[in-house]
Structure 1
Amino acid sequence: MLRIISANLNGIRSAAKKGFMGWLNDQSADFICVQELKAQQADLGPEILSPPGLHAYFHHAQKKGYSGSGIFTPHPVKHVQLGFGNPEFDAEGRYVEVQIGQLSVISVYMPSGSSSLERQEAKFRFLDAFLPHLIQLKKSGRQILLCGDVNIAHHEIDLKNWKGNLKNSGFLPEERAWLTNLFSELGYVDVYRQLEPDASDTCYTWWSQRGQAYAKNVGWRIDYQIATPELAQAARKAGVYKEQRFSDHAPLIIEYDWKL
């Protein structure tokens, strides 16, 4: 089984203090995709840069304490790509891709637009720039697994308070249409939803830090594993890990009947 984990850490040093690295070392995962590092290379100690038995690949933002993405894997990697060729968003450290054989695993941290109109406009620019890259990846004939914080809930079932968020970033019609196009027209697969088509309250991966959202399970499903069809068909088991809290997100874990 190929075991894949995706987790937004909202600060990798903060998550490490809450036990994330120890948990990661116990997971026997093939790839652990992490987002929102909020750290530069020089800020990280050996516990994070060189965990036992794992290689670590990070794409740091130029701005300190901001964004960032990474992948941990025990496997020797043939090729690593940092960024997807867009200067604006590559400067924010939003994309890491590793290749092993015919498989490409990607950790992506897509922008949030919730803080301001300017950031929402940046989010739309990201979506416009990222889609052609995903099209080219699919045309390459490789098996693609895109993991990360997409910052979009696709359907009403994917968040608790959908009626109250119809005009809010993360559930805007244009954002949801982007995902619909990705899945329905371009042929990528939302792997969690393929395995758990009816999951609602158990599907959430992020909770606001306001108003006891976690305690009341007022959550959103904004963390995904998105795959090309052949790989998606090999998915066997999916779950959201909530026994420990490392950040305001919970790790999404999916297992695939796939050999590297």
Structure 2
Amino acid sequence: MRIISWNVNGIRACAKKGLLEFVRNHKSDILCLQETKAHLEQCEDPLRNLGFSFANWSSAHRKGYSGVATFSVLKPMGVQCGIDVHAYDCEGRFVISDYGEFELYNIYFPNGGSGEERHHFKQRFLKDLAHHLTPKVTAGKKLIVVGDYNVAHAEIDVFDPVRLSTHSGFLPEEREWFTSFLQLGFVDTFRLYHPNERDKYTWWNYREFARISNRGWRIDYICVSENLRGSLRSAEVMDEIEGSDHCPVAVTLEL
């Protein structure tokens, strides 16, 4: 089974930059998109389902903002578009799909860089997400948590760890949360296969033309619960793919 996750920075904009060709050329069983910035009724075929049998969208109440969508060849047994916290769910940050053998969380984590209020919002989000996931981990559920985490975990995951240590997305408390998240019982799939690989990033600042010189951050992840570690076969950062300020990430599992 192949799972791809990509923050497309606007699904309609990305469609003009090769999204459909990407989907055709890079087959997956499940495709998770973040920051779709669209409601379903604003999109025409084939953007509504991208050629997949099943599509589930969660859009922000505010048009042109946030949003996630999960496309799959597998029929989910159940789908939730939130964690029953209105402040998060109204921003279209979750699609949670139950595929029977595992649950897949497609999440667009908040960006805390636009002021103190959003910083605190992000901190609450991280805390509440861990609180939500803890009983599922304890119960032995098989979980896959994909998306734009808006947090880089380690110094190896950013181009300039000293300068960026005061920037949202690489603050000590955010990195500590990521460590505690992994300790809760999750595996950073890319680092499992590439523990020491440097200069592998998933986001570059458009305004600084950072991609040209690869001044990036690795903030997009596919993490799996420890009970799926043995099912993993590969994990990659698809940094050759353009079309967004992020690149896709992917894993292959044998289930």
TM range (shorter): over 0.9
Alignment of 1:119-130 (within 5 A): 119-130=118-129
In structure 1, give the amino acid aligned to 2:214: N
Match of 1:46, SS?
coil
Q: Find the counterpart in structure 2 of residue 89 from structure 1.
A: 88
Deviation at 1:227, TM superposition (A): 0.7
Conserved in 1, the CA contact under 8 Å of 2:94 and 2:106? Answer: yes
CA deviation vs aligned residue, 1:117-153 (integer Å, no higher than 9, x gap): 2211111111121111111221342210000000001
Deviates more, 1:206-215 or 1:88-97: 206-215
Residue in structure 1 matched with residue 41 of structure 2 by the alignment: 42
| Percent of paired sites with the same residue | 38
1:160 and 1:220 in contact (8 A); partners too:
yes
Deviation at 1:230, TM superposition (A): 2.2
Q: Deviations over 1:86-115 (max 9, x none)?
A: 110000000001111221111100000112
Residue 188 of structure 1 aligns with which residue?
Answer: 186
Partner of 1:26: 25
Superposition TM-score, scaled by structure 2 size: 0.96
Which portions of structure 1, spanning 4 or more consecutive aligned residues, are displaced by more than 3 angstroms?
none
* Whole-Å separation in 2 of the counterparts to 1:83 and 1:251: 23
1:210 maps to a residue whose letter is R
Distance 1:193 1:130 in 2: 22
Gaps of at least 5 residues in structure 1 are none
2:237/2:247 contact within 8 Å kept = yes
The AA in structure 1 aligned to 2:188 is D
Verify: 1:212 aligned to 2:204, yes or no: no
Query: Which region of structure 1 is more displaced relative to structure 2, 61-70 or 231-240?
Result: 231-240
TM-score, normalised relative to structure 1: 0.94
Give the SS at the match of 1:88. helix
> In terms of mean alpha carbon deviation, does 103-112 or 224-233 score higher?
224-233
* Structure 2 residues not aligned, in runs of 5+: none
Q: Which residue of 2 aligns with 1:56?
A: 55
Say whether residues 1:200 and 2:176 are aligned partners.
Answer: no
Match for residue 251 of structure 2 among 248, 251, 254: 254
Q: Give the distance between the partners of 1:17 and 1:140, measured in 2 at CA.
A: 43
- For the structure 1 residues 242 and 54, does the alpha-carbon distance in structure 2 shift closer, same or farther, using more than 3 Å as the test? farther
CA distance in 2, matches of 1:220, 1:233: 28
Contact 1:195 1:236 in 2 (8 A): no
CA distance in 2, matches of 1:37, 1:83: 16
TM-align CA RMSD: 1.3
Q: Where does residue 164 of structure 1 map in the other structure? A: 163
**In 2, Cα distance between equivalents of 1:199 and 1:54:** 36
1: CA distance, partners of 2:52 / 2:11: 19
CA contact (8 A) 1:86 1:129 kept: no
